[in-house]
Structure 1
Amino acid sequence: MTRYGSVIHVKDEKLEEYKALHASVWPEVLDRLRKCNIKNYSIFYRDGYLFSYFEYTGDDYTADIAIMAADPRTQEWWSLTDPCQYPVKSALEGEWWASMDEVFHLD
């Protein structure tokens, strides 16, 4: 199992819309996350930032993420959530949610 943390900005005027979308995530999107070996997934908010945390339990993260990205229902979901967000300044070229380095963990 690998833990992943990432960060992105949420647009002030879109925060309530973003929260409303995540108050009832589509079942197909949740199912796709599970099928792509994503577990224990949370998104937190503070001061214009969204922080995402999840655990990946599969064997090929790159392949599973590609499968998720190719899923039509997930693409439809992202067409609603992406306009609510914008990358942080330090995001790498082409990176939407910027990866974070884990500096501490306690089981």
Structure 2
Amino acid sequence: LVVTVLGVLKAGAAYLILDPGFPAARLAAMATDAAVGAVVAPRGGHLAGLDIPVVHPEDARTAAPLPHGTVAVRPADLACVMFTSGSTGRPKGV
């Protein structure tokens, strides 16, 4: 998990940790609210049918290396999205 989060941040993206134990409707709502562009998950992982591209970390061992570039990251850029528990109704991204 730590390596994945660091890779996402190094790529200039933000991360959202999705619990595969959540109901499918909650996962879909969270992914939609956060405008998720891709999911990093192991093969065979439960993604509840989300229509989002999946990146499998185990494929990194056989993938061709990517050119090393520098991503301009500013202090105000988003790094992480977390959702409230939803105790007031619907979980909210913060």
Larger Rg: 2
Q: 1 or 2, which has the higher strand percentage?
A: 1
Structure with more contact order per residue of length (Cα contacts < 8 Å, sep ≥ 6): 1
In proportion to residue count, which structure has more helix? 1
TM-score computed with the length of structure 2 as normaliser? 0.30
Report the TM-score, using the length of structure 1 for normalisation: 0.28
